[in-house]
Amino acid sequence: MALQRLFAPLVLRAERRLPALTRMKPAEALPITLHRRRIYIVPSAYGIAFAILLLVMLLGSLNYGNNAALLLTCLLAAVSANSMLVTFRTLDRLSLDAIHAGTARAGERLELRLVFQGNGREHPALQLECSGHEAGFAVGATLPTEVVVPIATHRRGWISMPRLRVLSRYPFGWFRAWSWLAPGARMLVYPRMEAAGPPPPGADPLDGRRRPQGDEWAGLRDYRHGDPRRHIAWKASAHAESLRVKQFDQPDSTAPWRLDWFDSGLAAHEARIARLARWVHEAHAGGHVWSLHLPGASHGPARGTAHFHACMRALAELP
């Protein structure tokens, strides 16, 4: 007990000073800025080979009493020693400011966009390693840089951010500096979709596809990127400051789809989720109004992207 009390501050100190060495390292909050306590640097294999070459050159120039060659060897050795500091500087002050995760269904690759910031220093020739994937990138002194890393997903639900390693061999490849990052971000993976199956009970699968746009006049709104050109109200736009777009609504003629956990016609837990995921996807693609009924929670009826993501999220979070 007394021993533990003696060691506790030591361990605490070690964890504070050498965060990457402790295996049970807690996740860190963003932004994570690299500094000397978390940057490790060792000679690379090429660096060791080069050191041996330098030794041979040193012996050769000493043996032949050739001082010019000795000066050249010393110069190269000094450059290599200083390149260690440059390698360190390449990582120092780099910070990971934000992580944007895309959406992916289990089995697909989830694209993570990592935003790095230079904090007033150029960081040329960096490499990012993340769960078997490698990417090379460079970060400027002021502008943030985005690096896209796809990570493989296997099952639905929350996954935590894998450990990242940022490394650099800049400038000459003689030293390798790296730092481990454990950002405390979590990403949601949507459930896998059933490949094919029956339509939801009481739904006409062709219903949505016949009139995907809808034709009931609903009003005018501002132009948004991606609007079809034939929907632009040219006359109205001529009077207004900006482009106006005619908006149409889907006629609410069909009844909302009711997607029910107990009506899925399957018994297996994951198979049910996969079927519901397909139905939700079809309903969203078809522009329908739908409601999702799960044990313990109901969503909708509604439509639109927000509703779609809420439903997928509910499905992903099912036990």
Applying CB under 8 A, does 69 fall inside the site for other proteins? yes
Site string for other proteins, 132-171 (x = CB under 8 A): --xxxxx------xxxx--------------------xxx
Question: Tokens 């207004």 correspond to what residue?
Answer: 240
Q: Which of 251, 212, 246 is nearest to 227 (CA)?
A: 246
Applying CB under 8 A, does 75 fall inside the site for other proteins? yes
Q: Which range binds other proteins by CB under 8 A, 126-134, 157-165, 177-185, 269-277? A: 126-134
279: left (phi over 0), alpha (psi -120 to 50) or beta: alpha
CB of 92 to other proteins, least distance (A): 8
Residue 230 neighbours by CB distance under 10 Å? 6
Q: Which of 8, 12, 21, 62 binds other proteins (CB under 8 A)?
A: 62
Applying CB under 8 A, does 175 fall inside the site for other proteins? no
Cβ distance to other proteins smaller for residue 148 or 314: 148
Angle, nearest 10°, between helix axes 269-285 and 305-316? 170
Site string for other proteins, 265-294 (x = CB under 8 A): ------------------------------
Applying CB under 8 A, does 302 fall inside the site for other proteins? no
Cβ distance to other proteins smaller for residue 54 or 289: 54
Strand 123-130 relative to strand 95-101: parallel, antiparallel, unpaired?
A: unpaired
CA 191 to chain centre: 18
Residue 144 main-chain phi, psi, to 5 deg: -70, 150
# residues near other proteins by CB under 8 A: 55
Subset of residues 15 to 54 that bind other proteins, contact rule: CB under 8 A: 36, 46, 49-50, 53
Q: Which residues contact 284 (CB under 8 A, 6 or more apart)?
A: 290, 303, 305, 307, 308
What one-character-per-residue DSSP string does 166-224 give? Answer: EEE-TTTSSEEEEEEE-B--EEEEBPPPPSS-PPPTT--TTHHHHSSS--EEEEEEE--
Cβ distance to other proteins smaller for residue 172 or 248: 172
Binding residues for other proteins, rule: CB under 8 A, are 36, 46, 49-50, 53, 56-79, 81-83, 85-86, 88-89, 92, 124-127, 134-138, 145-148, 169-173
